[in-house]
Structure 1
Amino acid sequence: MKKLIFFLILLPFSLTAQVTDNFEDGNITGWTESYTGRWAASDVNPITGSYSLHHIYNSSTSYHDQISYDISSINVGEGTTVWKFQVKHGYNPTSGNNWGVYLFADNNASQMAADSINNAYVVGVNYTGGSDDTLRLWKIISGSATELIKTNIDWEDSVGTSIAAGFEITRTSEGSWELKVDTDGGFDNLISKGTAVNSEFTNSNYFGVYYKYTSSADQKLWFDDFELSQTNTPPTIKNVETVNDTILHVIFSEEIEQTSAETVSNYSITPSITIKSATLSSADTVTLSVSNMTTNDYTLIVDNVKDLKGLPMDNVSFNFSYSMPASFGDVVINEIMADPTPAVGLPEYEYLEIFNNFDYNVNLTDWSLCIGDKIKTFPSITLKPDSFLIICSTSAYDSLKQYGNTLALIGSTDLTNSGKTIILKDKSDNEISKVSYTTAWYHNTDKDEGGWSIERIDPDNTCGAINNWTASIDEKGGTPGEINSVDAPNIDTQAPVLESIKVMNDKELLLTFSEPLKTGIA
């Protein structure tokens, strides 16, 4: 009988490692106990065969005991890992009588307890001190448990104290989990009881069993037919990060072999992108230098890149997008409702509107909107070409969303009636649009009393300031989410004027002009 033996099976595209122990040799050599003499390969009521791992300590007080085995030779990030075992608990579970199987953990048996600081994944019943007897899978981060899978198995009702339940738990290299259980014992009738995705912790150092008991319920946990196997699979693509229009970072699921990683012919990008070079920039990341990308959706195909065990990828594809960075004026502040009272026809709320005047989608994620000294950060959101985004307060959102794409981002009184400077910046803090409005921008002393928005006349004119804004002429008082009522060509024909020069130091001068200047030319 093989006992705790690692062996390799060579297959065309996979490699299998395995650990087994059915305790039929009558010892627990290789296992580490939290306290010596509390576990044994016992012939007392074994689950199968002549022996099972059994808690044998007769305790006069309530306590907990653990036992672990070193599984650091298995890396859960390199393939699909499968745990199989059987558990029998000869006492109905309670908050004080429970158990957990540590599938993998940072630390050994000495730290495999619910009140210990450990990182792990644990399957068990009432492990966190509850008393509903439900079988669950938890992740443990720094000793704090979070439920990943809650099954419909009530251990007391579905399994009981006289038989064991068989387990098969699967984890893919990407962190997809599945929990299967045979409540009749063995592995012939395994039924899926839940799935989850989590890869927050990957250090597979130790496997183990935890048992918490009262003085009358010790010696009542059995464990048997342990099998831990892994089928190693080729690398996969975890992510593609676009640094700029010519540099990509390709992040793989595991460490990869350098020669295949740096072979340019192993990569292709459609549509119509040329791979110029490939460099292994870290153990699991390749930096690709490519021909200029424009705003578009792309597909990266990787073939024959190998992991450190020589397993090659086979035409694995990954879809990603690239958005060209916006320049000043590509997205413009297009309409401002600073004084909504008294309402003319729109809901009585402040709002401002931005417009994508660019030919491509603009990713606004982590952009900022500065209103006076207040800075608001955009969530993950994309603005399509020739489209509008209404920006308002949380209280205004439900009333304004009927007019188009709406985002609750600003406060209900951020847009002061008398005026304010508003700046839209990209995530690199570059100015994309800027206005400093006043009541003079209405050009109408009746409408500046409230209920009317001010609208940009020509979105292509980013320098017109007061001469490119005026009060809305729409009967509602504004045009949130649609073309401005005053929209018309209004070309800026006046060159900027140098207004002042300030000496900053012996090497720098500060020049102030009458209007914004174009980035890259000024």
Structure 2
Amino acid sequence: MLTCEVLSYKKIPPILGVVFSVYYKLPQIMRHQQLFTLLFFVLLPWAGIAQFTDDFTDGNFTADPVWSGNTSIFTVVGGELRNNDAGAGTSYLSTPSTATNEWVFRVRMTYNPSGSNYSRVYLMSDNADLSAAVLKGYYVEFGRSGDDIDLVKQNDATRTVIIAGSGGVMNASSNNIGVRVTRSASGNWTLKADLTGDTDFSTNIGSVTDNDFTASTHFGVYCVYTSTRKDKIFFDNIAVSQPPQINTTSATSVTQLDVTFNEEVDQTTAETASNYSVNNGVGNATTAILDGTNKALVHLTFSNSFATSNTLTVNNVADLFGNAITTAQTSNFTIDIAPPTIASVQVLSATTVEVTFNENVDQTTAETLTNYSIDNGIGNPATATLDGTNKALAHLTLGSPLIDLTNYTLTIENVKDLANNAITSASQGFQYLAPYTPSQRDIVINEIFADPSPQVGLPEVEFVELFNATNRPIDISGWKLDGVNTSGFPTFVLKSGEFVVLTSPGNEGLFSGNVLSWGGSGTLTNGGEVLTLTNASDQVVDRVNYSDEWYNDNNKSNGGYSLEQMNPTTRCTGTNNWTASSSASGGTPGAQNSVFDTTPDQKAPTINLTSLKNDSTLAIQFSEPMDSVKLKTALHYSFDNGLTVKSVTAIAPAYTVVEVQFSGSLQTGVAYTITTANLTDCIGNALSGTTARFGKGSTPTYHELVITELMADPSPTIGLPEREFVEILNRSGKVIELKGVLLTDGSDTAIVANQTPVFPGEYLILTTSSAVDDLSFFGRVLGISNFPSLANSGELLVLRNAAGQLLHSVHYRDSWYQDDTKEDGGYTLEMIDTGNPCGELDNWKAATATVGGTPGKVNSVKAANPDQNAPQILKAEAFIKDTITVTFNEKMDSTSLASATYALNNGASVAGVEIISPEFKQVKLKVATDLQLKTVYTLIINNALDCSGNTIASKNSTTFAVTEQGDATDIVLNEVLFNPRTGGVDFVEIYNVSDKFINLKDWKLANVDSDGNVANQKAMTTENNVLPPQHYRILTTDKANIQSNYPKAPDSTFLVMPTLPGYNDDEGSVILINNEDKLMQRFDYKDDFHFSLIDDKNGVSLERIRFTALTNTPNSWHSAASSEGFATPGYRNSQTRTDGVGDPVSLDFSAITPNGDGDRDFTTINYKFAQSGITISLTVFDKYGRKIKTLAQNDLAATEGFYTWDGTNDAGQKAGMGYYIIYIETFSLNGEKNRYKKPIVVGARF
């Protein structure tokens, strides 16, 4: 039958003991089937009271408590937690637990444990992952070593058995072990077991003191198993608990104390007064009462009063599980003996003041009127009321109102706190500020740091500084600074004459003084923007429209310096009141500005700009804020040309712009004048310059707007700013509208975006926006985006109107300066005669002005320079069979080119004309039928006019032919100068030996690298350049240099290249490559190819002897003759020989005079055989039969060729005058042998 007995284990509540007793009295088979249900329902109310319990009768381990870890391996079967893996391995589960005092549980292992099959129960762990390498705590281990039960301390990888079991208590085929572990506050551990799985824990395994780890975060189980033991480890009946802990102690009076525990406590032990004592002679409590609602709270009363600092000691108080405090717990507390103090005084209105104390106060004394007094005639309040919720707050109503901007002192006496401590006398000053709506510029934007990089000295973050320019503090809470962000300022009162720095969150610590962070990461625009300061009612208090121009210093505008306001108190501010900081650190955040100056403004305002808003409204912009009353008086304005004033609107709040509406018809292109009277700035300075022009501009047409001056190379500066610019001139007699006009160099295109009238005869300087300030001194300046970067050496500039129609073009070049010194920089190019806009080199030159130019003014080189010369045809070229490209020597009239007559011979005719814009120096003629190759055509042009109206005359015809692709035999290397005179340059001469007209565009010269590979290819030209048959072309980098050394070099034969490949003085390779990147010619030269008798080879070229000779052989080359100055660039070589004819072997000269003068300096021994495979030997003998020189020895000859003899012997010395025999011996493949003797005379000139 069932029996119920209360267990002697007092740590388990009696009802739990009953359940355990019933459980163990049941037959074994019933324990798992019936009593677990009873245990579950009995334990359920206690689960939230103890640290935790879990008997797994709920069938899961996912709630009450929640276990985590290898949850897929574990299961609950029959009210037990079971390890149930699929194979061998390790597993764990853990649940949060901070318990450090007592643990009860049961472990069942249905096998004899071993070193590979064992289990652990972790009592204390600082890691939820019980398999982790980093873990500190304690666990009970079952059967790993000697079939015993051990208590082990784990310090990460170090494990120490601190209680070792003995006797092999688990040396059985099945083990059912009940375990109880206790730990005292001092670290004394006991380990006991019940080897039958019951709860008498009669087996005392051992005890030890270990206090290395005193805290825990998790409790858990850990299993190690082989595949045969994977499902044979069980855990059950886990109860983890500890005694209650003191949470707080709070003195409610000098003899009363509240104690709060961390859990509900047993009423009997909690209300035992002797369980509580206080030091300082106070002793034990006289009463202890458990709170009626909060069962973790005990109210204590003592007969003696507390000292200031006290210690409470608690013993024997137990929780609801019977866990009693066996080791005394202590808690310190203090008693209030200090009187209350005034924390703050806040004025709500002229008759309402709030006082906040540092602690709750007694209501009676807090509401006694005589305890409060305010000086300056106010006296005691009319009422004093303690706040219903906040017992540290008293509301005072005054009998007399406070006076604006007056300082007062509130004095308080006899107000007590809840500990009966009374204020003897306490005072606090305050100021009354009547409700005030700030006027404009009461608070001013005083300093702007928009571009902090590069850093000069200030923190590299943006800020805006505000200044209170009034005599009163102003609350700026909720104000906004639009333009940076729209977030309101935090709560802040800015005192009179003080500054506050506004910056982004996180940057406050970078500044001293008053600093506010607000909103997000607002960003100031470097180039300028509108900043608007508004109060909490969104009324504008200050507005600043700053820009780069305000710095007045180009270097400082690049960054690192702030913009500072000079006079923060003036009501008239703008660009004239701001400038760059002069502080060495770059700015003065939170302090008086470095440029602070309250000197009255005596500078007269000026009219900056006039612009038409529409056909009846003119906007006038002034240099500074104007007197608003005078500005909007209609009688102060008048017009000419029939316009009358209709109304005037002054634009607030800056008053730098006025809009004047007028009546009358506004004519396009007509210049009008507005006259002002009696206008002053807001200080009173009269307007300087009372008239201004305006008008509705017309769209410019061809040559009405022209480029008249340009600064392409401003460095080194002569006097002008180091800025590029283009000057334009309105040549018409009407107002021109510039909006939409574009300036381009082909790469960059700048378009005028805004309405910009240009008046008749007016110059306008176009430049980058950043250069406007620098150039404004010289004239009217317009900064435009994407302004082209002007090439120093020259480029094509084109001006077009908004419709894209051509206005003017200038293709300037270095040569236009006509002065080598000025060409190096600092001087502008100026048009000489603006009436001749088509002129080029002949109508432009470097400025003669002492400062280097005349931007915005009449050019310093101005002179009459009309074009009176007839145009000429420079060349005609046909690169394809149906099109002829004609180039003129100057700009032409496009209309006349379209209607001119074009005549061709050889049956060809022109079917169409295309005029090449924008310079009109070329036309493309489409022929009716394809032109024939290798046919020279003549083109005659009549009735064509140049840009100035001159008719083409005598130079109206030219010849041309269709170009063809050049091959390896078409163009030859004909002369090379690789060792020029000192100060000279190299040249390479090529010659067209074919009957083709060949375009040299994209042909190249090259040399070879150290491995003999073709390298350093240099294009001859990227433009069309036709080489006719039997014509030369000189390839060099300096035409003037070549002509100064070799004056006979013709102008027409030069093709100047930017660079040549390097050709060494001693030896090298000259490579010719065509436009298809095919190697055409190669000449590997050496300096010993020169005539050996030449003493100085500097400046002496190597000339090709025959066009038909092989290129890359020394015999084909000879030193140029001295009679031709040692080179013949661009004309017939001095050493040219014609091909030999007649006999199989012949000499071109039978007498030579080898003196280098170019006249019979050497002879060629020409041969021509009827068959190939001939071996040839050549030897020179004197008249006595002595060998002088071997010219060839068993050479395999071509069917045709030559050798040369220059009158020298084998030692390189000149042979003496007299008769010689050149002996030639040949052998054919069939054994035929022939001998030839050719007499020759070596002579001399006297």
Per the normalisation by structure 1, the TM-score is: 0.48
Per the normalisation by structure 2, the TM-score is: 0.23
Richer in strand (by share): 1
User: Which of 1 and 2 has higher RCO (CA within 8 Å, sep 6+)?
Assistant: 1
**Structure number, greater radius of gyration:** 2
